[in-house]
Amino acid sequence: MPRELVTVTEEAGPGFDFNQLERSKQSMLEAGKCALIIIDIQEKLTQLMYRKESLLENAQKLIKGIQVLEIPIIVTEQYPKGLGPTIPEIAALFPDFKPLPKVAFSCCGDEGFQRELLAVDRRQILICGIETHVCVYQTTVDLLASGYEVEVVADVVSSRTDENREIALQRMRDEGAGITSVEMALFELMRVAEGPKFKEVSRIVK
């Protein structure tokens, strides 16, 4: 997916052809084209995260809203033997919880994840989880390189330090990912303020 250049340098004089700027534009999220990837929100990792309470609260809201909208969800676990399983507060939200174990930092480095991603057949990816500067970052870059549109849910990603989280968000933005939030993504997916799904999602986020 091409990237958007938004900075005009001083070299751009009066005769500069702005049509030469390479541009890309993230499409608005659509429920029928979107999938959510939840990366490694596991017991031992989560306890070390910056603002872990907020991370967990927002992750629960996002998952519940995405489930109301009937959007596919893929959950991964990094080396669960050493880092533990997905935290119970997340796992309990799924009637048939089957996370994908991995050892590669990027989810795309795991064959099981690749098969699952192909099976859901969605080209817009919402991504959240931990840590922002390691597994989330590397997965995002690989997905972008494979032609996916990627939106990082900024209030559902974290690292052990806020500095690493912020650096990673900027890097992913520079690479071409969109940056969104739980409410922004959910209301973008619904588009209209009507119907039972809107009422249910509104109840979840408030």
* Residue 34 falls in the annotated catalytic set: no
Q: Return phi, psi of residue 78, to 5°.
A: -85, 115
* Residue 61 falls in the annotated catalytic set: no
Q: What is the CATH number of domain 33-205?
A: 3.40.50.850
Q: Which of 34, 61, 102, 108 is catalytic?
A: 102
Question: What are the residue ranges spanned by the domains of the chain?
Answer: 33-205
Question: What is the tens place of the pLDDT at every residue in 108-141?
Answer: 999 999 999 999 999 999 999 999 999 999 999 9
Pick from 115, 118, 144, 139: which is nearest to 127 by CA?
A: 139
Q: Which residues pair with 73 in a beta bridge?
A: 36
Name 189's Cβ contacts closer than 8 Å, sequence gap at least 6. 29, 30, 31, 34, 69, 71
Average pLDDT rounded to a whole number, residues 39-64: 97
Q: Which of 61, 108, 135, 155 is catalytic?
A: 135
* Residue 107 falls in the annotated catalytic set: no
User: How far is 54 from 156, CA to CA, in rounded Å?
Assistant: 8
Confidence of residue 27 (pLDDT cuts 50, 70, 90): confident
Q: Which of 34, 40, 108, 128 is catalytic?
A: 40
Contact between residue 69 and residue 186 where contact means Cβ atoms under 8 Å apart: yes
